[in-house]
């Protein structure tokens, strides 16, 4: 029977391992350097009966029937639809910036005038990336664009990426649009929710198969033996011992704080674009409606990734970084039966559903 090696027990590795084991009836060894499965999706119940997302809030959302059908085999989901609040000029309001935000932060007469001009110029329910939205001729809309840019986007982006917005790839700026709608949800996908037993349980169910063996606290370099195929979800530059240079990443430091009262804030995530050093505060009990007389929050601080010090989170989307990645990708083409996938293997920011779809599509390629 063919034996495969999967490096990384996160969501990408778990999906490819499950498909190899179930669809091809092949043996799979899954290894991970961490002491737990589920990668950055890892969550756990703490002593207060609150499900903590160790590496920051993870909200599952997808428009893909294929992805939803796949994950639904391994977990039941609630109907949680994510909303994000930001503190703008001391006012709690919704982001992305929409018509509700407009009326929260401006006097009604000004908000009404801006609303009418927006509806005259743009289609309702349209999302406009902030840098595109700044290209206005009308003085009122120019004022609005500059206001949103500074109050919502500029300082938050600088804190999160350590770069000015002009130095960040358009794919990032497009994630913070002006949304010409009254829909306060952060995502508009057809399927949304949190696994009722958590993401660790979901990944555990993917890996729970007689053909799959999992070894934690295990480095790729420590593995001997012949494998029919290798699937690498770690950092592609690390695989090649950084011989072309190190790919830059942004890391995140979450500082957990426990409070002896029921709620700290009135939403799961509150962003602080213009105040404090942290970007946002997560309050985890909202996701699964956990009941506890205490609450746990996480203040999120962005920082640059340093080898051996912190975790890789977000590839930094700049042309020079993408060029370096492509050089590693070309080297990878010379390898026989070694496949790279996931955020680190593909040097790409993936939402969870996109990571799952990528693993499913890779499996379909090799299974032919």
| Domain CATH for 72 | 3.40.50.720
Domain count, the chain: 2
Residue 333 lies inside a defined structural domain of this protein: yes
Structure tokens at 158: 């600088």
- pLDDT greater than 70 at residue 250: yes
Average pLDDT over residues 182-199: 97
The residues, ordered by sequence, that sit 6+ positions from 206 with a Cβ below 8 Å of its Cβ are: 14, 15, 17, 18, 74
- Of 144, 179, 214, at which residue does a domain stop? 179
Other CB atoms within 10 A of residue 124 CB: 10
The string of pLDDT tens digits covering residues 17-50 is 999 999 999 999 999 999 999 999 999 999 999 9
Which domain-ending residue is among 122, 149, 179? 179
Q: Has residue 197 got a pLDDT over 90?
A: yes
Answer yes or no: do 240 and 323 share one domain. yes
Residues 88 and 166 in one domain: yes
| Phi, psi dihedral angles at 337 (to 5 degrees) | 60, 35
Same domain, 89 and 71: no
Residues 211 and 157 placed together within one structural domain of the fold: no
Q: Is the pLDDT of residue 2 over 70?
A: no
Please report, to the nearest 10 degrees, the dihedral formed by the alpha carbons of residues 207, 334, 332, 319 taken in order.
Answer: -160
Instruction: Give the lowest-confidence range in 5-14, 74-83, 151-160, 331-340.
Output: 151-160
Determine what percent of the chain is predicted with pLDDT higher than 90: 88
- What's the alpha-carbon Rg for the chain, to the nearest Å? 22
Overall average pLDDT of the 73-81 stretch: 98
Predicted confidence band of residue 368 (pLDDT cuts 50, 70, 90): confident
CB-CB contact of 131 with 170 (8 Å) = yes
Are 193 and 72 in contact by the 8 Å Cβ rule? The answer is no
Q: Is the pLDDT of residue 89 over 70?
A: yes
Q: What is the mean pLDDT of residues 290-313?
A: 96
pLDDT of residue 296: 98
∠ Cα 133 135 140 (to 5°) = 80
Which of 147-151, 171-175, 248-252, 357-361 has the weakest average pLDDT?
A: 171-175
DSSP state of 47: T
pLDDT reading at 365 higher than 90: yes
- Hey, which bits of the chain come out as E strands? 3-7, 27-31, 43-45, 51-53, 60-62, 84-88, 91-95, 127-129, 177-179, 191-193, 212-215, 229-232, 249-259, 269-271, 280-283, 295-304, 314-315, 338-340
pLDDT of residue 211: 98
Q: pLDDT per residue over 120-179, tens digit each?
A: 999 999 999 888 888 888 999 999 999 999 999 889 989 998 887 777 776 666 667 899
Burial tier of 366 (Cβ tally within 10 Å: 0-12, 13-18, 19+): middle
Residue 172, classed as helix, strand or coil, is helix
pLDDT at 151: 94
Tokens of 36: 């737990």
338 and 220 share a domain? yes
56 in a structural domain: yes
Q: How far apart are CA 277 and CA 111, in angstroms?
A: 30
- The residues near 41 (Cβ < 8 Å, ≥ 6 apart) are 10, 11, 53, 55, 58, 199, 200, 202, 203, 352
pLDDT at 164: 76
- Angle at alpha carbon of residue 171, lines to 167 and 174, rounded to 5°: 100
Asked whether residue 270 carries a pLDDT value surpassing 80, the answer given is yes
30 close to 13: Cβ distance less than 8 angstroms: yes
Q: Where are the alpha helices (DSSP H) in 34-88?
A: 65-71
Q: Could you tell me if 216 and 171 lie in one domain? A: no
> Is 298 among the domain residues?
no
- Do residue 143 and residue 119 come from a single domain? yes
The domain in which residue 175 lies consists of 84-179
Write the Ramachandran bin of 167: left for phi over 0, alpha for psi from -120 to 50, otherwise beta. Answer: alpha
Rounded to the nearest integer, the mean pLDDT of the chain is: 95
57 and 23 in a common domain:
yes
The CA distance from 284 to 56, in Å, is 9
pLDDT for residue 136: 85
* pLDDT > 90? residue 71: yes
Q: Rounded distance, CA 311 to CA 55, Å?
A: 9
Compute the half-sphere exposure of residue 219: CA atoms within 13 Å on the CB side of its CA: 4
Residue 286 in any domain: the answer is no
Residues 98 and 167 occupy one common structural domain: yes
- The average pLDDT across 260-279 equals 97
Mean pLDDT of the region 59-86 = 98
- Pairwise pLDDT comparison (251 vs 172), residue with the higher score: 251
The count of residues in the chain is 368
- Of the pLDDT bands very low, low, confident and very high (cuts 50, 70, 90), residue 67 is very high
pLDDT of residue 256: 98
Q: Can you give the pLDDT at residue 286?
A: 98
Task: Give residue 163's pLDDT.
Answer: 81
Is residue 201 one of the residues assigned to a domain? yes
> Who contacts 351 (Cβ-Cβ below 8 Å, separation ≥6)?
61, 62
Give a yes or no: residue 301 inside a domain: no
Q: Helix crossing, 139-148 with 108-121: angle to 10°? A: 100
């Amino acid at each position: 029977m063919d034996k495969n090696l999967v490096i990384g027990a996160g969501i990408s590795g778990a999906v490819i391992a499950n498909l190899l084991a179930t669809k091809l009836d092949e043996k799979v060894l899954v290894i991970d350097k961490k002491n737990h499965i589920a990668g950055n999706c890892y969550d756990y119940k703490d002593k207060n009966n609150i499900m903590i997302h160790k590496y920051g809030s993870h909200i599952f959302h997808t428009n893909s029937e294929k992805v939803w059908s796949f994950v639904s085999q391994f977990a039941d989901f609630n109907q949680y639809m994510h909303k994000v609040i930001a503190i703008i000029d001391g006012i709690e309001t919704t982001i992305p910036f929409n018509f509700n935000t407009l009326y929260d932060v401006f006097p009604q007469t000004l908000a009404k005038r801006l609303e009418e001009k927006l509806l005259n110029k743009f289609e309702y329910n349209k999302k406009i990336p902030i840098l595109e939205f700044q290209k206005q001729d009308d003085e009122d809309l120019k004022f609005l664009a500059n206001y949103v840019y500074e109050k919502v986007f500029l300082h938050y982006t600088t804190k999160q990426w350590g770069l000015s917005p002009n130095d960040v790839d358009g794919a990032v700026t497009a994630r913070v649009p002006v949304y010409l709608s009254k829909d306060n949800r952060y995502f508009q996908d057809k399927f949304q929710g949190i696994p009722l037993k958590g993401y660790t349980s979901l990944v555990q169910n993917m890996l729970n198969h007689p053909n799959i063996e999992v070894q934690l606290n295990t480095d790729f370099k420590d593995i001997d033996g012949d494998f029919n195929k290798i699937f690498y979800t770690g950092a592609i530059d690390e695989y090649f011992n950084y011989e072309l240079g190190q790919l830059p990443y942004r890391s995140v430091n979450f500082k957990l704080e426990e409070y002896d009262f029921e709620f700290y804030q009135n939403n799961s995530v509150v962003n602080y674009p213009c105040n404090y050093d942290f970007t946002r505060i997560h309050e985890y009990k909202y996701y699964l409606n956990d009941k506890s007389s205490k609450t746990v929050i996480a203040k999120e601080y962005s920082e640059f990734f340093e080898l051996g010090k912190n975790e890789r989170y977000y590839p930094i989307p700049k042309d020079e970084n993408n060029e370096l990645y492509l050089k590693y990708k070309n080297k990878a083409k010379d390898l026989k039966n070694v496949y790279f996938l996931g955020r680190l293997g593909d040097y790409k920011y993936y939402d969870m559903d996109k990571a799952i779809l990528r693993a499913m599509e890779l499996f379909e390629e090799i299974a032919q």
